[in-house]
Amino acid sequence: MTAKRTVKQVTVAASVDNGKLSKLLQNNRWFNELPEYCLEEMLALAKIRQLDDGECVYAKDDEPDGLYGVITGAARISNIGPDGREAVLAVLSPGSWFGEISLFDGLPRSHDTHASGSTELLLIPRKGFQQLLDRRPELYPLFMRLLCRRIRISFAMLEDSALLPLPSRLAKRLLMHAHNYGQTDDEGGRPSVQLSQESLGLMLNSSRQSINKLLKRLEAAGWLNIRYGQIVILDEASLTRLATGETSLEG
């Protein structure tokens, strides 16, 4: 993928509804752990980045510029192998938080991140973020939990790729995204995932066609509802049993 580095960046203006943005972020399962004053201070520091589809948020080995939250669209986190193939690590939906690792260790970015579709991001600049932590040291445990959660996810994905069949890996990836990056649908508060079938295929080292067939079987079983740009989890218990190998699509 060719990185398009030019972006439009402006500070949060008076016309931006901070209350609406705060509510959007709180819909995320991680953001809602943050105290209200933290969200307010973050929004006061924030800038908005507006990106077109495929535009580069930051590239591997870039110096860290800040902490990001997805307002609209999605952020696609990936790396390119020596043979030019792309390995998609995650596609983050609105309410998701990313870019924190480089802020804590001070090292360059470890992967590429691009906009997936027309995307709007909140950027908490690095200097402002560090000043916030200096003022609010009680926030460190919250961010440490986020970092530990990401580490656990990374180890789980490595283990899954070696040990689990594709149906179980798909179920586990859907649950992981729903609980760590996803939102709830508007109807019943059910966990949902905003991931394309192509992205799922890239993340699971499988074809879009194979992912499509499996999703249709999961939908026919009543475990999922596939909508345009969204997968709603209807039967989390059954999906969990599939993810852990306790059941199969035939059983």
Q: Mean pLDDT across the stretch 215-236?
A: 90
Task: Answer with the residue of higher pLDDT: 209 or 29.
Answer: 209
Q: Whole-angstrom Cα distance, residue 24 to residue 20?
A: 6
Contact in structure between 102 and 64 (CB atoms under 8 Å): yes
**Would you state the structure tokens that stand for residue 156, as one six-digit string?**
């789980």
Q: Mean pLDDT across the stretch 125-147?
A: 86
Range in 21-25, 65-69, 78-82, 102-106 the model is least confident about:
21-25
- 3-state secondary structure (DSSP) of residue 130: helix
- Dmax over CA atoms of the chain, in Å, equals 56
Range in 3-12, 101-110, 159-168 the model is least confident about:
3-12
Range in 8-17, 133-142, 193-202 the model is least confident about:
8-17
Judged on CB neighbours under 10 Å (0-12, 13-18, 19+), 75 is buried
Q: Whole-angstrom Cα distance, residue 46 to residue 225?
A: 35
pLDDT for res 230: 82
Confidence class for position 236, pLDDT limits 50, 70, 90: very high
Q: Whole-angstrom Cα distance, residue 236 to residue 171?
A: 10
Task: Answer with the residue of higher pLDDT: 50 or 94.
Answer: 50
Calculate Rg over the CA atoms of the chain.
Answer: 18
- C-beta atoms surrounding 139 within 10 Å: 18
pLDDT, mean over the chain: 80
- pLDDT tens-digit map of 39-86: 778 778 888 899 999 999 999 999 999 989 888 888 989 988 888 888
- The share of the chain scoring above pLDDT 90, in percent, equals 26
Confidence class for position 114, pLDDT limits 50, 70, 90: very high
- C-beta atoms surrounding 132 within 10 Å: 17
Give the residue ranges of DSSP H helices in the chain: 18-26, 36-45, 100-105, 126-135, 140-163, 166-180, 197-203, 208-220, 236-243
